[in-house]
Amino acid sequence: MDLDLTEEQQLLKKSARDFFEKELPREKVKELEADPLGYSPELWKKMADLGWCGLIIPEQYGGAEFGLLELVMLLDEMGRASLPSPYFSTTVLCAPLIMMAGSEKQKSELLPKIATGELIFALALTEPSATFEPDGIETTAIADNNSYLLNGTKLFVQDAHCADYLICVARTRVWTAPEEGISIFLIDPRSPGITITPIKTIANDHQNEIVFDNVEVPAANLIGEINQGWPVIKRVLDQAIVAKCAEMTGGCDWAVDASVQYAKERVQYGHPIGAYGSIQHYLADMWIECSMGRRMTYYAAWALQEGEQTDMIIPAVKRWVNEAYKHCTRMGVQIHGGIATTMDHDMGLYYRRARQGALLFSDTEESLQKVARQLGL
């Protein structure tokens, strides 16, 4: 057992911390929240140059071929910086999907360009059913000669407005168990019949509605086997849950650090408020919740990477980090007082992201249901 970060992991984490402290002041984050594009192409280019866009892409496709643990280190820092970017959509959701299920041709055409930052991807998975489970997929893809015709509505799709490609999850067989009739398609968002409409969310994280109205997709754009898409999505989602936990832990960590710092500086009744027991105990609880979440995240990433049993730890870590991040940002506002309820203050960025992240991929109730199933209930 060795629970320290490797030198490489430490270095990655530190360089990411330094990079974002220098390149991404939170004023910039707030500007990007309001910006229709929602990310800075200039910053994206720099991130790509650092090798981050291809962090987990194999070397043969131009990536750095790091593992999930390294990705977790980087996402932790991105969460701390509250980075607005299509990184999660492209590198965490879509690149692994292509790595897992793509044909050699798809891999060699797409992955190198993801690694260089040239291509941005969005995963069109969720629908008005608002679930990450297979029975929520109602968009249909019907075979028609050498192509498929897609019809349906995708909702809550992050980064679709700026994506060079969409990866769309659609139903290709109806009279079957929900998870046995799902296929995955690579789609050019400029194809006729596609309408992308931005929707605003609590986190200003640039989500979209996508309507597919008889969109013709060449059969060659199928990713993986027909009707065999769900196991791939399931693996992508498992990884995404752990990755999201890392990002959320980073944000949570910022909220705790900022609150500790402020409690040392803010003087009321002649003492820094951090000298009062009530504030100290809030902060100790926050530190514990955040730190325990991080250790669970590391373990989950390791277990997934090593092919260990993860059916318990993945829903467990999501439940934990959901609640930890929500609680720490709520208390972060409380400790900072009135100023933290304003747009001027940074805590709101994290408070709002916590509420979004806690519902992504597996919310607390779903996570607990999965844990209950693992208990044999």
Partner 1 sequence: MDFRLTPEQEKLKAEFDAHFKEEAKRAPEGWFGGFETRFETEENWAYYRSVIHRVAERGWLSLPWPKKYGGRELGYLEQALFAQSAEYHRVPAIDVHLSIVSAGMLEYASEEMKQEWLPRMSRGEIDFAQCWSEPDAGSDLASLTTRAVEDGDDYVINGQKVWTTGAHRANHLFILARTDTSAKPNKGLTYFLSEIDKPGISIRPVYYMNGGHVCNETFFDDLRVPKKNIVGKVNEGWKVTMAGANFERSGAGGVAAMQRDLEDLVDYCKHTCRRGQVLGKNPIVQRKLADLAVKIEAMRQWAYFCAWQQTRNPMSYMEPSASKYYMTELMVELANTGLEIMGLYGTLKQGSKWAALKGKFEEQSQITLGFTIAGGTSETQKNIIAWYGLWLPRMK
CA distance 60 to 55: 13
Whole-number minimum distance, CB 61 to partner 1, in Å? Answer: 25
Whole-number minimum distance, CB 74 to partner 1, in Å? Answer: 14
Whole-number minimum distance, CB 301 to partner 1, in Å? Answer: 9
Residue 226 or residue 260: which is nearer to partner 1 going by CB? 260
CA distance 40 to 83: 10
Residue 215 or residue 316: which is nearer to partner 1 going by CB? 316
Residue 219 or residue 288: which is nearer to partner 1 going by CB? 288
Binding site for partner 1 (CB under 8 A): 1-6, 9, 69, 260, 263-264, 271-272, 274-277, 279-281, 283-285, 287-288, 291-293, 295-296, 298-299, 302-303, 306, 312-313, 315-316, 319-320, 365, 367-369, 371-372, 374-377
Residue 132 or residue 262: which is nearer to partner 1 going by CB? 262
CA distances for 56 relative to 13, 31, 95, 257, 318, angstroms: 15, 29, 8, 29, 22
Whole-number minimum distance, CB 110 to partner 1, in Å? Answer: 30
Tokens of 215: 């969109």
Whole-number minimum distance, CB 241 to partner 1, in Å? Answer: 14
What's the burial of 127, exposed, middle or buried (CB within 10 Å: 0-12/13-18/19+)? buried
Q: Give the DSSP letter string of 254-315.
A: HHHHHHHHHHHH-EETTEEGGGSHHHHHHHHHHHHHHHHHHHHHHHHHHHHHTT---TTHHH
In a 13 Å sphere around the CA of 194, the CA atoms on its Cβ side amount to: 22
Residue 343 or residue 375: which is nearer to partner 1 going by CB? 375
